[in-house]
Amino acid sequence: MLRERSVVYYPEELSLLGHVLDQVIKSLPAAMRTPYNRTEIARNILACAATGERDPIELELAATIDLKVSTAA
């Protein structure tokens, strides 16, 4: 579950976050594109964005923290 904090995003921000998500997933080896990792990437991006970060590079770096190398879902 996401943090208890509520955050509202403007359409431009949602577009940015979606683009970052797509780029990060595309950059992963196919074996790491598991449902678990996709969920963790999205959570990491949202957690970073909730702090006010909007730099795509910083969001991409935050997205890959703690990903599982295992190919299991």
The 10s digit of each residue's pLDDT in 28-67 is 999 999 999 999 999 999 999 999 999 999 999 999 988 8
48: left (phi over 0), alpha (psi -120 to 50) or beta: alpha
CB 17 within 8 A of CB 45: yes
Ordered by start, the domain boundaries in the chain are: 9-33
CB 2 within 8 A of CB 46: yes
Q: Which residue is it, tokens 């879902």?
A: 73
Amino acid at 52: G
pLDDT at 37: 94
Q: Of 22, 24, 17, 26, give the one whose Cα is nearest residue 53.
A: 17
Query: What is the CB-side half-sphere exposure of residue 12 using CA atoms within 13 A?
Result: 1
